[in-house]
Structure formats: structure tokens, C-alpha cells
Amino acid sequence: MTQYIEAKSGKITLEMEFVAQTEQLTPELIRDEVARGRMVIPANKIHLQKGLDPIGIGIAARTKINANLGNSSLSSDSTSELEKVRYAIKYGADTVMDLSTGADINMLRQRIIDNVRVPVGTVPLYQVCEELDDIVDMKPHDFLKAVEDQAKQGVDYMTVHCALLQRHLPLADKRLIGIVSRGGSLTAKWMTAHKRENPFYTHFDELCEIMRAYDVTWSLGDGLRPGCLADASDEAQFAELEVMGELTRRGWELGTQVMIEGPGHVPMDQIQMNVERQMQVCHEAPFYVLGPVVTDVAPGYDHFTSGIGAAMAAMYGAAMLCYVTPKEHLGLPNLEDVKQGVIAYKIAAHAADIARHRPGARSSDDEMSRARFRFDWEAQFRLAMDPETARRYYYESRTNIVQDQDTQGTESTKNGAASCAANAGLEPERFCTMCGPKFCAMRITADIRQMRGES
């Protein structure tokens, strides 16, 4: 029994109750959203047994973010990638996807599943490709086996590019940069070599049987997502989307949970249309978007360019945002890149939740504002999305003033916030170093209130 089947029968599962509590919603609403297909709870039965905190992904819930991680054949290793997974979760990732290529894929995936309590996603085609000399050698059985093996490990959701069909390939030829999805390009190569239809489409029902057995959630992959602004919202993208809508209904008929992957690179003025079109074509199944990136000319800063698009997409109804790091288009991210990507997307998701008036979304913002007016610096650090950085910036600024801006840098500055405060003997002040005591507007406002006899 999948979460979808249980919800359709009117049952409220323990996972639905858990999600309701974390979302500040009623269990009945969660059940109804899952039954409608407008929310998914990625919770493989195996991962639940190992230890998983279920989450709800859907328009009624707060916006979730995913962090893509995994080693490559050219760099990194399983130990450093596992550390990145922990780092991503520490800074707020709601799910992680293991996109590993190269050696030890099974081992790394198992270590991730065994060590995290968030849902884990994969793209099974990557493993199939690694195990063969050429993707052209793949037999449908190879892929079905890979999907089942990963389901048995406890993978909670899988991206499969089922909706890219032979008739779509000529449409991609019209593009500036063609197919940019790794899974999409591998699928297209197989179809071209064999002159046969997409095997993931023709074997969709068999894949659903595996998904249903373990309650693995579909993430229908967009093999034709646009990889540059010039290709956004084109005929190829929307032709594939129509097939996604067809497969969404088929997935529901076979008792599986379904969410939809989305673009990619999209100009700001096309984001609302893209989200609304997906919701219409795919019957409001949760939309999971990569960014989207809103300009192509800022390599090294694509956590910003995509964070802008992500906030807009979530405001218009996207349910989950796949983070982009500063290294996007350039290389495999390191720990700091992972942190920067996660924080950027937590900001985007939170801003969208506020705009959509989701329950409790603004409470921490209001508490932060009260702490600022009280000059309660410790409360501000505690409420910050990145408390370590907030604390460090504050005390570094104070320390530099006390030490007359020592250009050589001192050990107290290097050792972080706690050492800065202790070594300089600083106590928190009722002003910051940007304004100082004489020009601090909030302090002046408090003085005015005292002059008026207000509390």
C-alpha cells in the first residue's frame, strides 16, 4: 500500500500525521492532498524502517529544497561526498539526490540512506550507464533491475526520463544547445541507435510495479528541459510536458506517487506561465524545478541567478526547488559551494512561503524584527538561517573597530565569533558598527519613545 493508495481509501497514515504536524496543517488536509495527487510523501518502506522523517512536497506545504550531490569519475570520493550530504542537511536541505557516477556508486548510496533521515533521490540511468561500455548496449531488463536494486536499498524517489519520445528528437535539433539533461541525452542516444521508442515509456507499467512495491515516488524527468534562455518554453519542452501529463495519470491509476521535474533556464517573464502550464497539463502534480536560471552570463554566481528564478517559481506554485551552487556549469561543488547553494535556496523557498501565506512562514521574521529593535544580538544569531556567519560578521566588525582595523589580521579575527568576542572583551552594544551609536535609527526611535513616555 502506497501513501497514494492509502489516501485514496480515506486512511490517514502515520507519515501523513507526521507531515501534518511539521506543516502546521490537519492530517485530513494532508490525506486529501495526497489522494488528489497534489502532494507526495517520498517514503520508501525500507528507508522508513532504517529511520526517515517523512516530508510533504506539494503546493499546500512549505516549499522544499533538494541538494544534488554525488561523486564523479573525475573528482571527489565517497567520504567527501558523504560529508557534503551532512553539510547540505545541516544548512537546511529537505532532500538529497545522489547523482554519483564513477566507482562505488552502490556503496555511497547505501551509506547515504543509512545515515540520513531525509528522503533520498537518484537517477538510476546513471548507474546503468556506468555498468555498460556504452548506453546503446542497455537492455530494458538492465534498467528494470537497476530500479529494483535501488528501491531495495531504500531510495525514496527516482528521476526517470519516461516522457522523451522519438518524435521529440527533431524538435530538439532546432535548439541553440540541444539536449542538456544527462539522462535525456543518454535516452535520446539509445533511441537513435536502436530506432525504437523510449524503453522507459514502453515499460512504464512495469516500472510502476516496482515503484508501488516499495512506495518509491516518481520524479518524471524532463529530458528536454531548456539549458539556455534561447531554448526556454519551446516546442520540444512543451511536447515532452504533454507526455508527462499522460504518464502522471497512468502513474496514479497504478497506485504510485508522482511529481514532475521542470526547467532549467527560463527568463523571468516566462516563469509564471511555465508553472501554470505544468499545473494544468500535469493535473496539479507537485512541480520540482531546477532553478530556473534567469540569465546565462553569471558563471560562478548561478546560486544567485537561479535563486531569483526559484523564488518566483515557488511563489507561483512550484513545490520543490533543486538547488544550484556557485560551481554550476563549472565543476563539482566543494563544501562551501554546497553551503552557499543551500542557503540561497532556503532564502528563496522561505520568501515564497511568506508570499503564499503558508502557516507560520513569517513568524521567525517577526521575531527577528523584534530582536533587532531590542538589540538582542543572540536572538538574531539564533533566528538567522546561517547563525555562524551572522555571529562572525557582527563580532569581526566590532573587533576591527576595537583594534583600530588591524590590517594584518589577528588570531581573534581568524578564530571566529566566539574568540573575537572573548579576546576583545566585547559586550553586545545597542547599535551596529554600520551606524554607530549616534546615527542608529532604531536606538533613536527608542529614545523618542522614552521622551514621549511610551514603553
Q: What is the DSSP string of 313-338?
A: HHHHT--EEE---TTTTT----HHHH
Q: Are residues 292 and 151 in the same domain?
A: yes
**379-413: pLDDT as tens digits:** 999 999 999 999 999 988 887 655 544 544 444 44
Model pLDDT, residue 402 = 54
Residue 361 counted as domain residue = no
Among 14-28, 42-56, 422-436, whose mean pLDDT is lowest? 422-436
Residue 285 counted as domain residue = yes
Q: Are residues 343 and 385 in the same domain?
A: no
Q: Are residues 347 and 422 in the same domain?
A: no
Percent of the chain scored above 90 by pLDDT? 85
Q: Are residues 161 and 296 in the same domain?
A: yes
Q: What's the CA gap between 323 and 141, in Å, rounded? A: 32
141 contacts: CB under 8 Å, gap ≥ 6 = none
**424-453: pLDDT as tens digits:** 455 667 887 788 888 989 889 988 999 998
Q: Are residues 64 and 213 in the same domain?
A: yes
**102-143: pLDDT as tens digits:** 778 999 999 999 999 999 999 999 999 999 999 999 999 999
Last residue of a domain, one of 300, 330, 355: 355
Residue 314 counted as domain residue = yes
Model pLDDT, residue 430 = 80
Q: Are residues 377 and 427 in the same domain?
A: yes
| DSSP helix/strand/coil, 262 | strand
> How many separate domains does the chain show?
2
Model pLDDT, residue 104 = 81
What mean pLDDT is predicted for residues 411-425? 45
110 contacts: CB under 8 Å, gap ≥ 6 = 153
Q: What's the CA gap between 123 and 409, in Å, rounded? A: 46
Q: Are 362 and 354 in contact (CB under 8 A)?
A: yes
Residue 362 counted as domain residue = no
Q: Are residues 434 and 380 in the same domain?
A: yes
Last residue of a domain, one of 322, 355, 388: 355
Residue 360 counted as domain residue = no
Q: Are residues 350 and 408 in the same domain?
A: no
pTM of the model: 0.93
Q: Are 3 and 257 in contact (CB under 8 A)?
A: yes
Q: Are residues 284 and 426 in the same domain?
A: no
Residue 11 counted as domain residue = yes
Q: What are phi and psi of 289, to 5 degrees?
A: -110, 150
User: Does the pLDDT of residue 74 top 90, yes or no?
Assistant: no
Q: What's the CA gap between 282 and 276, in Å, rounded? A: 10
Model pLDDT, residue 428 = 66
Q: What's the CA gap between 281 and 108, in Å, rounded? A: 36
DSSP character at residue 293: B
Instruction: Show the domain range for 224.
Output: 3-355
Residue 297 counted as domain residue = yes
Q: Are 97 and 68 in contact (CB under 8 A)?
A: yes
Q: Are residues 378 and 347 in the same domain?
A: no
Percent of the chain scored above 70 by pLDDT? 93
Q: Are residues 297 and 445 in the same domain?
A: no
Q: What's the CA gap between 190 and 194, in Å, rounded? A: 6
Q: Are residues 280 and 142 in the same domain?
A: yes
CATH number at residue 11: 3.20.20.540
**196-248: pLDDT as tens digits:** 999 999 999 999 999 999 999 999 999 999 999 999 999 999 999 999 999 99
Last residue of a domain, one of 355, 380, 414: 355
Residue 240 counted as domain residue = yes
